[in-house]
C-alpha cells in the first residue's frame, strides 16, 4: 500500500466544487461568449489552486473536472462506434434556381402552404463532422461521422477541445438523460497560419488547409498532440435526445447555446424564401472576412413536424440542402511550367504561379493535367490565368485571360526527354499522357516503392515518402524488391533514423513476405489493376504462375476484366524486367501465396462508387486508385447497388438518377473525408 490519502474536509470539498464552477464559468465566458470577466493571470490562479487541491486529494478528481481535459494515455488505434441515428449528408444546390427547386420539392412533399414553410439558414463549415454524447449532462463519447453509420471513438481527443463542454451548463434546465450533439470541428484561419509557421520551424510539413489540419488533429492517437492544436467546435444539430425536445431546428440551436455550446452567429430563421436568399448572400458577402472557412450555407426546414413529413432518403434528408458558394477564383501569372513524374512514368505538367491568395490560402502551383488540356486552354508560360481552388487539394488553371497577353508568352512543349532521368518520353497513340520510358527512372522508382509499401499493397508501415526518398537517393534501393535485402547497419546512418525505427521497419518488411495473393497482385503496380481487380484476379487464378500463363483472351473471359486490363496484365508478364523483378522478390524471401479464396476484406470491400461531373480537386484516376486501395470499386453507371455517387461540378443525369434511387450523393470534400476516415488518401499527384 502507498501512503494513506488525507481525508478531505467538507471545506476542501466545497472549495473544489466552487473552483470548478468558477473555472467552467470563466471558460465559458472566454471560449463561448468571447467576453472574459477576469484576467488570464487571475484565471491561472484559480486553475492552479484546483490543481493543487486535486494533487493533495486525488480522491476528489472527477473525469469532468476542468483539469482533466488532457492526460489520457496514447491509444493503439481508435475503436469504432455505431451512431444511434445515422449522421446524414446533404444534397447540394449550386444556384438560386436549384434552391428554389428544393423549395418546391419540400412544399410538394409536405403539402404545406408556402407561408408555413420557414427555414433556418446557417453557414456550412468546412471542417470535420463529429457527434458528442452526453448522459445526464456529462460528456461520455465523441466520434467522427465516418461513413455516416459508424465512426471512430475520438472521445479523448475531443475532451481536449475547450469549446466542447465536459458537462452541460445549467442554463438549459435539468440536463436531459441523453443528448447527442452534432457539429463541426474546425480551426480558425489565423490559428491555422500560426500552427503552420510553428510546424515549419521544426521542419514538419505544413497542412494544406484548415480542414486538413482539423481532420488530422482529431485523429491523433496521442491526445496530447490534439490538445496542442487550436480546435474549435460549432454545434449545428442533434441526434437522439431523451428528455424534453425542442420543436424546431432554430429552437434546438438556441437550446444548444443554453447548454453551453458555441452556435454560429450567422444562423438566421427565415420566414420567406426571399429572406433565405438574402441571408445566403449576406453570408457569401462576409465569407472572406470570417475567421474560418465555409463553403456555402445549409438551408433546413425549421419545423420538426414538417421535417418528418418531408422525410429522408437513406443517406440525406429531403428537408435540408447545402447551398454551395461558387468556387473561389483569382487571377495570377504563370511563371513557369514544371513536369512531375509519377509511378507509371506519367509526366504531369504543373504551373508555377506568382503566389496568390485564393480564399485565404496561398496558391503557388496548379495542375495542368496533360498536354491536351494545355492545348485546349491554350495555356502559355507568362500568361495571366484564372486559378480556382475548390476547397482544397490541387488548385487548377481554369482559363487564360487572353487580353492580358503581351506577345512574350511562351508556348509549352512537352519535353522529349524525362526531366528526372533524361530518358526518352513517349506518348502512345490515342492517349493523352506522355510517359518516361525508363522503368528505373528515380521519380518512377520512388512512386512505385511508395505504392508497393502502401496500405492496400504490402502495408509496410514506417516507410514514408521521405524515407523512401532517402533510400533511393542513397542508392540503397532501386526497386521495391531491394527492400528485402536491407540490413539494419545500412539503415542506421540515415537521417531521422534510430535503432528502434530501423528494427521496426525491418520487421514490417519481414512481415510482408507472407502476404495474400490479392495484395501481392496489387502491389506489383500493373497498370489499370487496382485493389478490387487484384482481388478478382486472386480469386480467379489462385496463383501468380497461373495468372502469368493467361492469354489476353482467357483474361477477358473473366467477368469485370475488359481488353484494356487484360492487355496491361499480359504486357506486364511479357516484360522480362518484370519477370526479373518477380525472381528478385522470391530471392528476397517473398512467399508467393497460392489461394482460391478472397482474403480478408479492406474497409471499402464491397462498396461501389460512381464518379460524375467535373471533379475539381483531383482526377478520376486519383479518386479511383484511392477507392481501390481501400478495396472499393468504381462503376460507370448508377444503380440501386451503388453505395456512393461522388459529384463534381455540373453532374447531370447520374446525379439525378442517384437522387431518384436514394443513393448517397457526396461531394469531393466529403469523399476525401470518407477516404481519410478509412485510412486512405487521395493522392493529388503534385
Parallel/antiparallel/unpaired status of strands 361-367 and 178-187 = unpaired
By CB under 6 A, tell whether 142 contacts ligand IVH.
no
Q: At closest approach, how far in Å is the CB of 171 from ligand IVH?
A: 22
Instruction: Report yes or no: 630 and 671 within 8 Å, Cβ to Cβ.
Output: no
By CB under 6 A, tell whether 157 contacts ligand IVH.
no
By CB under 6 A, tell whether 248 contacts ligand IVH.
no
Distance CA 641, CA 545 (A): 34
Could you tell me which residues are beta bridge partners of residue 268?
A: 121
By CB under 6 A, tell whether 292 contacts ligand IVH.
no
Q: At closest approach, how far in Å is the CB of 665 from ligand IVH?
A: 9
Residue in the block written with cell 508467393: 592
Distance CA 245, CA 251 (A): 9
* Phi, psi values for residue 129, rounded to 5°: -75, 135
By CB under 6 A, tell whether 89 contacts ligand IVH.
yes
Q: At closest approach, how far in Å is the CB of 175 from ligand IVH?
A: 23
Residue in the block written with cell 437550446: 255
Q: At closest approach, how far in Å is the CB of 638 from ligand IVH?
A: 19
Taking the least distance from each CB to ligand IVH, the nearer of 301 and 529 is: 301
By CB under 6 A, tell whether 315 contacts ligand IVH.
no
User: Using CB under 6 A, which of 129, 310, 361, 638 touches ligand IVH?
Assistant: 129
Instruction: Report yes or no: 523 and 452 within 8 Å, Cβ to Cβ.
Output: yes
Those residues whose C-beta lies under 8 Å from the C-beta of residue 630, and which sit 6 or more positions away, are: 455, 456, 531, 602, 603, 604, 675, 678, 679, 680
- The CA distances from residue 75 to 131, 219, 579, in Å, are 20, 11, 42
By CB under 6 A, tell whether 154 contacts ligand IVH.
no
Q: C-alpha cell of 68?
A: 482533466
By CB under 6 A, tell whether 420 contacts ligand IVH.
no
Phi-psi category of 296—alpha, beta or left, where left has phi over 0 and alpha has psi -120 to 50? Answer: left
User: Using CB under 6 A, which of 19, 60, 90, 566 touches ligand IVH?
Assistant: 90
Burial of 8 per CB tally in 10 Å (0-12, 13-18, 19+): middle
Taking the least distance from each CB to ligand IVH, the nearer of 89 and 348 is: 89
By CB under 6 A, tell whether 457 contacts ligand IVH.
no
- The CA distances from residue 629 to 314, 570, 636, 668, 680, in Å, are 26, 22, 18, 17, 7
What H or E segment, with its residue span, contains residue 226? helix 223-227
Distance CA 648, CA 637 (A): 15
User: Using CB under 6 A, which of 88, 263, 393, 471 touches ligand IVH?
Assistant: 88
Q: Give the number of residues in contact with ligand IVH, rule: CB under 6 A.
A: 16
Q: At closest approach, how far in Å is the CB of 128 from ligand IVH?
A: 7
Distance CA 537, CA 555 (A): 9
By CB under 6 A, tell whether 472 contacts ligand IVH.
no
By CB under 6 A, tell whether 293 contacts ligand IVH.
no
Taking the least distance from each CB to ligand IVH, the nearer of 26 and 249 is: 249
Q: Which of residues 626-645 bind ligand IVH (CB under 6 A)?
A: none
Q: At closest approach, how far in Å is the CB of 35 from ligand IVH?
A: 24
Q: At closest approach, how far in Å is the CB of 124 from ligand IVH?
A: 4
Instruction: Report yes or no: 366 and 353 within 8 Å, Cβ to Cβ.
Output: yes
By CB under 6 A, tell whether 121 contacts ligand IVH.
no
By CB under 6 A, tell whether 391 contacts ligand IVH.
no
Q: At closest approach, how far in Å is the CB of 278 from ligand IVH?
A: 18
Instruction: Report yes or no: 619 and 611 within 8 Å, Cβ to Cβ.
Output: no
Distance CA 553, CA 567 (A): 9
Q: Which of residues 664-683 bind ligand IVH (CB under 6 A)?
A: 670
Q: At closest approach, how far in Å is the CB of 237 from ligand IVH?
A: 5
By CB under 6 A, tell whether 236 contacts ligand IVH.
yes
Q: At closest approach, how far in Å is the CB of 667 from ligand IVH?
A: 7
Span from 132-140, 269-277, 315-323, 616-624 in contact with ligand IVH (CB under 6 A): 315-323
Distance CA 539, CA 559 (A): 12
Taking the least distance from each CB to ligand IVH, the nearer of 129 and 468 is: 129
Count of residues making up the chain = 686
Distance CA 275, CA 421 (A): 60
Span from 121-129, 197-205, 505-513, 547-555 in contact with ligand IVH (CB under 6 A): 121-129
Taking the least distance from each CB to ligand IVH, the nearer of 160 and 307 is: 307
By CB under 6 A, tell whether 124 contacts ligand IVH.
yes
By CB under 6 A, tell whether 185 contacts ligand IVH.
no
The residues carrying an active-site annotation are 124
User: Using CB under 6 A, which of 36, 86, 239, 317 touches ligand IVH?
Assistant: 317
Span from 88-96, 156-164, 608-616, 654-662 in contact with ligand IVH (CB under 6 A): 88-96
Taking the least distance from each CB to ligand IVH, the nearer of 149 and 551 is: 149
Q: Which of residues 318-337 bind ligand IVH (CB under 6 A)?
A: 320, 322
Residue in the block written with cell 474560418: 292
Taking the least distance from each CB to ligand IVH, the nearer of 269 and 322 is: 322
User: Using CB under 6 A, which of 125, 233, 255, 452 touches ligand IVH?
Assistant: 125
Residue with nearest beta carbon to ligand IVH = 129
Q: At closest approach, how far in Å is the CB of 317 from ligand IVH?
A: 5
Q: C-alpha cell of 111?
A: 403539402
Cα angle 102, 103, 104 (rounded to 5 degrees) comes to 95
CA Rg value for the chain:
28
Parallel/antiparallel/unpaired status of strands 644-647 and 608-612 = parallel
What H or E segment, with its residue span, contains residue 616? none
Distance CA 167, CA 28 (A): 11
User: Using CB under 6 A, which of 26, 103, 145, 211 touches ligand IVH?
Assistant: 145
Cα angle 492, 498, 502 (rounded to 5 degrees) comes to 65
User: Using CB under 6 A, which of 53, 121, 263, 298 touches ligand IVH?
Assistant: 298
User: Using CB under 6 A, which of 237, 349, 480, 525 touches ligand IVH?
Assistant: 237
By CB under 6 A, tell whether 184 contacts ligand IVH.
yes
Span from 82-90, 209-217, 244-252, 386-394 in contact with ligand IVH (CB under 6 A): 82-90
Distance CA 381, CA 396 (A): 15
Cα angle 680, 563, 515 (rounded to 5 degrees) comes to 40
Taking the least distance from each CB to ligand IVH, the nearer of 175 and 237 is: 237
Q: At closest approach, how far in Å is the CB of 526 from ligand IVH?
A: 36
Q: C-alpha cell of 457?
A: 499493397
Those residues whose C-beta lies under 8 Å from the C-beta of residue 456, and which sit 6 or more positions away, are: 519, 522, 531, 602, 628, 629, 630, 631, 680
Q: At closest approach, how far in Å is the CB of 138 from ligand IVH?
A: 25
- The CA distances from residue 514 to 346, 623, 641, in Å, are 31, 29, 34
Span from 97-105, 240-248, 317-325, 481-489 in contact with ligand IVH (CB under 6 A): 317-325
Q: What is the DSSP string of 471-493?
A: HHHTTS-SSGGGGGG--HHHHTT
Residue in the block written with cell 510553428: 198
Taking the least distance from each CB to ligand IVH, the nearer of 300 and 624 is: 300
Span from 26-34, 132-140, 316-324, 347-355 in contact with ligand IVH (CB under 6 A): 316-324
Provide the binding-site residues for ligand IVH, judged by CB under 6 A.
88-90, 122, 124-125, 129, 145, 184, 236-237, 298, 317, 320, 322, 670
Amino acid at each position: 500500500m502507498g501512503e494513506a490519502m488525507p481525508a478531505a474536509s467538507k471545506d476542501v470539498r466545497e472549495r473544489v466544487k466552487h473552483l470548478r464552477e468558477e473555472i467552467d464559468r470563466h471558460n465559458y465566458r472566454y471560449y463561448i461568449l468571447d467576453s472574459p470577466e477576469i484576467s488570464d493571470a487571475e484565471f491561472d490562479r484559480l486553475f492552479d489552486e484546483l490543481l493543487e487541491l486535486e494533487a493533495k486529494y486525488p480522491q476528489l478528481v472527477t473525469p469532468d473536472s476542468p483539469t482533466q481535459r488532457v492526460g489520457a494515455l496514447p491509444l493503439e488505434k481508435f475503436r469504432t462506434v455505431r451512431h444511434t441515428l445515422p449522421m446524414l449528408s446533404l444534397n447540394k444546390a449550386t444556384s438560386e434556381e436549384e434552391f428554389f427547386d428544393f423549395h418546391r420539392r419540400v412544399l410538394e412533399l409536405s403539402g404545406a402552404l408556402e407561408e408555413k414553410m420557414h427555414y433556418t439558414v446557417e453557414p456550412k463549415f468546412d471542417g470535420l463532422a463529429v457527434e458528442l454524447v452526453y448522459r445526464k449532462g456529462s460528456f461520455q463519447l465523441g466520434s467522427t461521422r465516418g461513413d455516416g453509420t459508424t465512426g471512430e471513438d475520438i472521445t479523448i481527443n475531443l475532451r481536449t477541445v475547450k469549446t466542447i463542454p465536459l458537462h452541460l451548463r445549467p442554463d438549459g434546465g435539468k440536463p436531459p438523460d441523453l443528448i447527442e450533439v452534432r457539429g463541426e470541428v474546425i480551426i480558425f484561419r489565423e490559428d491555422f497560419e500560426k500552427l503552420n509557421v510553428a510546424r515549419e520551424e521544426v521542419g514538419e510539413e505544413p497542412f494544406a488547409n484548415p480542414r486538413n489540419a482539423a481532420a488530422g488533429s482529431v485523429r491523433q492517437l496521442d491526445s496530447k498532440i490534439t490538445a496542442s492544436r487550436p480546435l474549435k467546435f460549432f454545434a449545428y444539430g442533434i441526434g437522439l435526445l431523451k428528455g424534453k425536445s425542442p420543436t424546431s431546428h432554430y429552437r434546438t440551436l438556441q437550446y444548444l447555446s443554453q447548454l453551453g455550446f458555441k452556435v454560429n452567429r450567422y444562423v438566421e430563421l427565415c420566414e420567406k424564401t426571399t429572406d433565405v436568399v438574402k441571408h445566403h448572400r449576406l453570408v457569401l458577402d462576409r465569407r472572406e472576412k470570417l475567421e474560418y472557412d465555409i463553403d456555402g450555407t445549409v438551408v433546413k426546414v425549421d419545423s420538426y413536424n414538417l421535417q418528418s413529413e418531408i422525410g429522408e432518403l437513406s443517406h440525406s434528408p429531403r428537408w435540408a440542402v447545402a447551398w454551395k458558394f461558387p468556387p473561389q477564383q483569382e487571377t495570377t501569372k504563370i511563371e513557369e511550367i514544371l513536369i512531375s513524374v509519377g509511378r507509371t512514368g506519367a509526366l504531369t505538367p504543373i504551373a508555377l504561379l506568382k503566389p496568390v491568395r485564393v480564399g485565404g490560402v496561398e496558391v503557388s502551383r496548379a495542375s495542368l493535367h496533360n498536354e491536351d488540356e494545355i492545348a485546349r486552354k491554350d495555356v502559355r508560360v507568362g500568361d495571366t490565368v484564372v486559378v480556382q481552388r475548390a476547397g482544397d487539394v490541387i488548385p487548377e488553371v481554369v482559363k487564360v485571360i487572353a487580353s492580358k497577353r503581351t506577345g512574350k508568352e511562351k508556348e509549352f512543349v512537352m519535353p522529349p526527354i524525362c526531366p528526372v532521368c533524361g530518358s526518352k518520353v513517349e506518348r502512345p497513340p490515342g492517349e493523352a499522357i506522355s510517359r518516361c520510358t525508363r522503368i528505373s527512372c528515380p521519380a518512377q522508382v520512388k512512386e512505385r516503392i511508395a505504392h508497393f509499401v502502401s496500405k492496400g499493397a504490402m502495408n509496410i508501415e514506417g516507410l514514408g515518402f521521405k524515407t523512401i526518398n532517402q533510400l533511393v537517393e542513397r542508392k540503397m534501393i532501386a526497386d521495391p524488391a531491394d527492400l528485402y535485402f536491407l540490413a539494419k547497419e545500412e539503415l542506421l546512418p540515415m537521417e531521422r533514423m534510430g535503432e528502434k525505427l530501423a528494427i521496426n521497419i525491418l520487421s514490417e518488411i519481414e512481415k510482408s513476405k507472407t502476404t495474400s495473393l490479392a495484395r501481392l497482385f496489387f502491389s506489383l503496380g500493373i497498370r489499370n489493376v487496382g485493389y478490387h481487380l487484384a482481388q478478382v484476379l486472386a480469386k480467379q487464378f489462385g496463383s501468380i504462375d497461373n495468372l502469368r500463363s493467361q492469354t489476353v483472351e482467357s483474361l477477358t473471359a473473366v467477368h469485370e476484366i475488359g481488353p484494356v486490363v487484360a492487355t496491361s496484365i499480359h504486357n506486364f508478364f511479357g516484360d522480362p524486367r518484370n519477370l526479373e523483378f518477380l525472381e528478385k522478390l522470391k530471392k528476397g524471401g517473398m512467399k508467393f501465396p497460392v489461394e482460391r479464396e478472397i482474403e480478408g476484406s479492406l474497409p471499402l470491400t464491397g462498396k461501389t462508387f460512381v464518379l460524375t461531373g467535373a471533379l475539381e480537386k483531383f482526377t478520376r484516376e486519383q479518386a479511383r486508385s484511392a477507392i481501390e486501395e481501400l478495396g472499393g470499386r468504381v462503376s460507370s453507371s448508377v444503380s440501386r447497388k451503388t453505395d456512393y455517387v461522388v459529384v463534381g461540378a455540373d453532374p447531370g443525369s447520374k446525379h439525378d438518377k442517384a437522387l431518384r434511387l436514394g443513393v448517397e450523393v457526396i461531394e469531393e470534400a466529403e469523399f476525401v473525408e470518407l477516404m481519410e476516415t478509412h485510412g486512405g488518401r487521395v493522392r493529388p499527384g503534385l
